[in-house]
Amino acid sequence: MKKFIKNNFYYILILVFVTVNFNTLEKVYILFSNDYDKRLISVYGYCEKEGYGFIKNNINKKIIASNFYIENKEDYPSIKGIFFRLNNKISNYEYIFLINQKQIPFKEENFKNYQILKNEGNCYLLKKND
């Protein structure tokens, strides 16, 4: 064992330096202590940033099958790709998720035919009136 440490001293030193410098042990602990959804919510936000938490809590199979739309009023990319089904037909959107919406959405002309199903803070789930 002493011979191994003596021959590979510099490699071990570099490994320890990198591990301490990049907080590797702390990151591994955080990775294993939080589940997948908690990590995604911490990165993509609940009702801020991309709004992953709000969409995840309110989405169901019916909404996914109906080809929904996500509109974010901030300068963030859409996360529809996480929930998108390739075999859906593109049609008029029956459900709309509004993320980071500062004012009531019905003041805009595009949303006059929709009703609010759920509202949390600046996030809205709208459904088209029949």
pTM, two decimal places: 0.71
- The pLDDT value recorded for residue 84 is 67
- The pLDDT value recorded for residue 8 is 87
What are the residue ranges spanned by the domains of the chain? 2-33, 37-128
> From CA 85, how far away is CA 29, in angstroms rounded?
33
* pLDDT averaged per 10 residues, the chain (length 130): 83 92 91 89 88 88 80 81 64 81 71 84 86
- The pLDDT value recorded for residue 20 is 93
Residue 92 token pair = 């008029």
Kindly report the number of other CB atoms within 10 A of residue 65's CB atom: 13
Query: Residue 98: what residue type?
Result: L
Q: In sequence order, which ranges of 22-122 are alpha helices (DSSP H)?
A: 24-33, 36-44, 52-58, 61-65, 80-83
> From CA 49, how far away is CA 128, in angstroms rounded?
25
- The pLDDT value recorded for residue 43 is 87
> From CA 119, how far away is CA 130, in angstroms rounded?
20
